[in-house]
């Protein structure tokens, strides 16, 4: 379930005018920006951008970039973009941060159609589990068959294959994909498998590591909150609470500050 709380039919013109007012005066009214944008869904935010440009002949995204700074600006920027544009930005940031020498796997993930149905073929799951085991045993992690199976099979079919792999070989496949902890390719492969098997549990882990490291990883924290607030962040919050015995809102409030904290808490559904 989503954590985003927004009105049913807000006026994009009124929102655009309120944002314009927040930019004027001696200082930017960050609270007003949060109260508006932090409670609008993608369609509503797009209408606000269009209304703002129509009223003031100015790009709202660029204006926000000039008015805000730091982690708060990055979070707002990622939030106000259309989801597909946001994904492009996040992908670009990730590639620049950690270049991956073998892009075949990532290209396959984003370019090949994946069946979304729940039907599975048990015999196929068994045979492909054996194919994966043979490739991993030979440390051929980037073998074409590994890429093909993980990138093309439906989520249900991959789950069936991975379950058979665990039953046959005594451990989950990710345990066998730690041959080189520093390998970006293996990290990408393990991450994909974790997202296919239980993406909410994976996102909880990302948040936990972002908050519990030697310093807060704002980039990762922002990415999860901004991309999941409209989808399943409430479920991720529940997993985090059970795993850490601390509400996610409290953990975020403890490790962040200022307008950045206020914005994240708003997206987390905190109405205090």
Residue 186: which pLDDT band, with cuts at 50, 70 and 90?
A: confident
Under 8 Å between Cβ of 267 and 3: yes
Q: Which of 108-112, 147-151, 184-188 is modeled with the greatest confidence?
A: 147-151
Based on the fold, state whether residues 28 and 87 are members of the same structural domain: yes
Distance CA 133, CA 165 (A): 7
Residue 272: which pLDDT band, with cuts at 50, 70 and 90?
A: low
Residue 223 lies in a domain: no
Residue 179: which pLDDT band, with cuts at 50, 70 and 90?
A: low
The residue out of 134, 166, 198 marking a domain boundary is 166
Based on the fold, state whether residues 123 and 80 are members of the same structural domain: no
In Å, what is the CA distance from 176 to each residue of 113, 144, 179? Answer: 27, 18, 7
User: How confident is the model over 149-174, as pLDDT tens digits?
Assistant: 999 999 999 999 999 999 998 888 98
User: How confident is the model over 240-253, as pLDDT tens digits?
Assistant: 999 999 999 999 99
Residue 118 lies in a domain: yes
Residue 64 lies in a domain: yes
- The whole-chain average pLDDT of the chain stands at 93
Residue 207: which pLDDT band, with cuts at 50, 70 and 90?
A: very high
Beta strands in the chain (DSSP E): none
CATH number for the domain spanning 67: value is 1.10.220.10
The residue out of 166, 192, 219 marking a domain boundary is 166
Structural domain that includes position 118: 101-166
Based on the fold, state whether residues 82 and 145 are members of the same structural domain: no
Place of tokens 């379950």: 163
Based on the fold, state whether residues 118 and 66 are members of the same structural domain: no
User: How confident is the model over 248-269, as pLDDT tens digits?
Assistant: 999 999 999 999 999 999 999 9
Based on the fold, state whether residues 115 and 148 are members of the same structural domain: yes
Residue 26 lies in a domain: yes
Q: How many domains does the chain have?
A: 2
Is the pLDDT assigned to residue 183 strictly greater than 80?
A: no
Residue 221 lies in a domain: no
User: How confident is the model over 209-237, as pLDDT tens digits?
Assistant: 999 988 899 999 999 999 999 999 999 99
Residue 259 lies in a domain: no
b/e for 35-46, b at 16 or more Cβ within 10 A? ebbbbbebebbe
Based on the fold, state whether residues 23 and 42 are members of the same structural domain: yes
Based on the fold, state whether residues 87 and 117 are members of the same structural domain: no
Q: What percent of the chain has pLDDT above 90? A: 73
Based on the fold, state whether residues 37 and 23 are members of the same structural domain: yes
Residue 34 lies in a domain: yes
- Which residues, at least 6 apart from 160, have a Cβ–Cβ distance to it below 8 Å? 120, 121, 122, 125
The pTM assigned to this predicted structure is 0.91
Based on the fold, state whether residues 30 and 85 are members of the same structural domain: yes
Residue 178 lies in a domain: no
């Amino acid at each position: 379930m989503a954590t985003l709380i927004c009105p049913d039919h807000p006026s994009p013109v009124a929102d655009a005018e309120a944002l314009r007012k927040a930019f004027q005066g001696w200082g930017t009214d960050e609270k007003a920006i949060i109260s508006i944008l932090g409670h609008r869904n993608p369609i509503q935010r797009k209408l606000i951008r269009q209304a703002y440009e129509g009223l003031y002949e100015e790009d709202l995204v660029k204006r926000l970039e000039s008015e805000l700074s730091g982690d708060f600006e990055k979070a707002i920027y990622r939030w106000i973009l259309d989801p597909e544009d946001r994904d492009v930005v996040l992908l670009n940031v990730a590639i620049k941060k950690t270049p991956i020498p073998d892009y075949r796997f990532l290209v396959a993930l984003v370019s090949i159609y994946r069946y979304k149905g729940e039907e599975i073929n048990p015999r196929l799951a068994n045979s492909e589990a054996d194919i994966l085991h043979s490739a991993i045993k030979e440390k051929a992690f980037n073998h074409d068959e590994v890429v093909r199976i993980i990138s093309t099979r439906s989520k249900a079919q991959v789950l069936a294959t991975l379950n058979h792999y665990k039953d046959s070989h005594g451990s989950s496949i990710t345990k066998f994909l730690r041959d080189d902890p520093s390998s970006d390719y293996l990290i990408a492969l393990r991450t994909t498998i974790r997202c296919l098997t239980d993406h909410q549990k994976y996102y909880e882990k990302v948040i936990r590591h972002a908050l519990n490291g030697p310093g807060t990883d704002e980039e990762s924290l922002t990415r999860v909150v901004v991309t999941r607030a409209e989808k399943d962040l409430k479920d991720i919050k529940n997993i985090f609470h059970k795993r850490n015995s601390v509400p996610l809102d409290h953990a975020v409030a403890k490790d962040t500050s200022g307008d950045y904290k206020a914005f994240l808490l708003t997206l987390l559904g905190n109405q205090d």
